Structure 1
Amino acid sequence: MAPQSAALADYDFWLLDLDGTLVDVEWSYTREVFDRVGDRLGREFTDQEADIIWSGLTGSRDRQLEAWGIDPAAFWEAFHDEEDPLVRAEQTYLHDDAAFVAELEGPVGLVTHCQEFLCEPVLENVGINDWFDTRLCCTEETGWKPDPTPVERVMADLGVAHNGHRGVLAGDGANDVGAAWNAGLDAIHVERVGHERRGQCVLGDYRVQSFDDLQ
């Protein structure tokens, strides 16, 4: 078992997830979006169900939707239609312990499932646009974590692919850990929601409750 804290200087480059890792959104916003999506789909979402999908607590969101008898394509079309980028940005806050990213030396990349039309206003609102040398918002074309393809694309953009540089990906979900390992990187899992709420323990090379635990 790897130690539970990592030294920042151990890595030549860093990749990070966004939602749930560096930033989060007020619950009232999440609840309102799921209420409107539910109206469109003719199905109510409980608080627990909204939390599971929003935070990806069970891994693949599409598989979870299918298990509930919901067509993922119809859900995501309604979901993205109901998200207002400016409101989303206003309701998003930066985790205090994320400040370490601004001090990282070497290349830093962002790999997120947050869509570009939402990502840009969020980054601007919380003032972290300049933290990243490159960023990628996953799509059907790029693939979704834990698929390593989006991670590998960011590594290529940073000029650190296949050249012996040691890198790490930090995120709040099992998909982030899987993407890191599939791309040959170390994985840091930051547990934002707690094991009881998640219903399982996510293993990574390093597990922390806060980035303040990093050395």
Structure 2
Amino acid sequence: MLFDMDGTLVETEELWGEAMFALATQLGGTLSDEAREQTAGTSMLASMEIIYADLGMDPAAQDLQADARWVEDETAALMTSRGMPWRPGARELINTVRAAGLRTALVTTTPRRVATLVLDRITAELGVDPFDVTVCGTEAGALKPDPAPYRKAMADLGVDPRSSLVIEDSQVGTASGLAAGVAVLGIPLVQRLQPQPGLTLRTTLAGLTAADLAALLD
């Protein structure tokens, strides 16, 4: 089982969005809801380009790395002060997967220094680290929608794409999983997801059983 993090397991997408809206204000503009939606699941550098375009700013005239770092730091601060609630059914699904003896990976575009905040909180609440493998940020050499992150996770787990399932909430995430040759369960949050071969859509993780997961692989 290969899990995305933000917006899939935990309610952190709102915090990323809040930080991006705050950055736009600092830059002297107002980020549109449409542009914010486009940033879901993307890398911070891609998000910065979307924000600059939405604000009508020349990317070459901006300190992209510094702005990306500011959003990461602001989001980390919000995670610490506001908390990181589970998405509906996520905690129960992780327990179900672990009880079934399935190997698990967390695969996120979020850099490890921020993702660790979520991982530490999940481990503290469950009393055990539920992930056999974690792939964060650029650790796979490429970012979603490239298949590299999920391919690396499967290689590290020693599992085959045909026996794996990706759980995602964003367009770039589902594209990454499908490109890696894996069946994908999509639980859309910020973005709308369109039906396509290999992608199963649900409105929530709540109520999913081990039998449901096996059926998705079939």
TM-score (norm 1): 0.73
Q: Which runs of 4+ in 1 moved over 6 A?
A: none
Contact 1:24/1:94 (CA < 8 Å) preserved in 2?
yes
Q: Kindly state the Cα deviation for residue 212 of structure 1 after the two structures are TM-superposed.
A: 2.8
SS class of match (1:102): helix
Alignment check: 8 A CA contact 1:35 1:44 kept: yes
Residue 215 of structure 2 is matched in structure 1 by none
Which ranges of structure 2 fall in alignment gaps of 5 or more residues? 213-218
Secondary structure of the residue aligned to 2:5 is: coil
1:120 aligns with 116
- Render the CA deviation track for 1:138-193: whole Å, top value 9, x for unaligned: 228621111011111111111125xx751111100111211111111111101234
| 8 Å Cα contact 2:174-2:184 kept in structure 1 | yes
| Residue 33 in structure 1 maps to residue 19 in structure 2 | yes
Do the aligned partners of residues 141 and 108 (structure 1) sit closer, same or farther apart at CA in structure 2, a change above 3 Å counting?
closer
User: 1:177 & 1:26 partners in 2: Cα distance?
Assistant: 16
Residue in structure 1 matched with residue 216 of structure 2 by the alignment: none
Report the more deviating stretch, 14-23 or 129-138. Answer: 129-138
Whole-Å separation in 1 of the counterparts to 2:163 and 2:19: 40
Higher helix share goes to which structure?
A: 2
Which of residues 40, 44, 65 is equivalent to 1:55?
40
- Distance in 2 (CA, whole Å) between partners of 1:125 and 1:166 is 29
Report how far residue 91 of structure 1 moved. 2.7
- Do 2:166 and 2:182's aligned partners in 1 also have CA atoms closer than 8 Å? yes
Aligned counterpart, 1:16: 3
**1:45: Cα distance to partner?**
2.4
Q: 1:191 aligns with which of 167, 188, 193?
A: 188
Give, as a single letter, the amino acid of the residue that structure 2 aligns with 1:111: V
Write out aligned runs for 1:77-116 (5 A).
77-83=69-75, 85-89=76-80, 90-98=82-90, 99-104=92-97, 105-116=101-112
Report the counterpart of residue 137 of structure 2 in structure 1: 138
Residue 3 of structure 1 aligns with which residue? none
Q: Which amino acid aligns with 1:100?
A: L
Aligned residue pairs, count: 191
**Matched residue SS, 2:206:** helix
Higher relative contact order (Cα pairs below 8 Å, separated by 6+ residues)? 1
Distance 1:175 1:115, change over 3 A: same
Distance in 1 separating the partners of 2:18 and 2:206: 32
Amino acid in the other structure paired with 1:136 = V
**Residues 95, 130 of structure 1: CA spacing in aligned structure 2 closer, same or farther, 3 A cutoff?**
same
Structure 1: 5+ residue stretches without partners: 1-13
Cα RMSD of the aligned pairs, angstroms, is 3.1
TM-score (normalised: structure 2): 0.72
Deviation at 1:49?
5.0
Q: How does 1:159-198 map to 2 (within 5 A)?
A: 159-161=158-160, 166-193=163-190, 198=191
CA 1:51 to 1:17, structure 2 compared with 1: closer, same or farther past 3 Å?
A: same
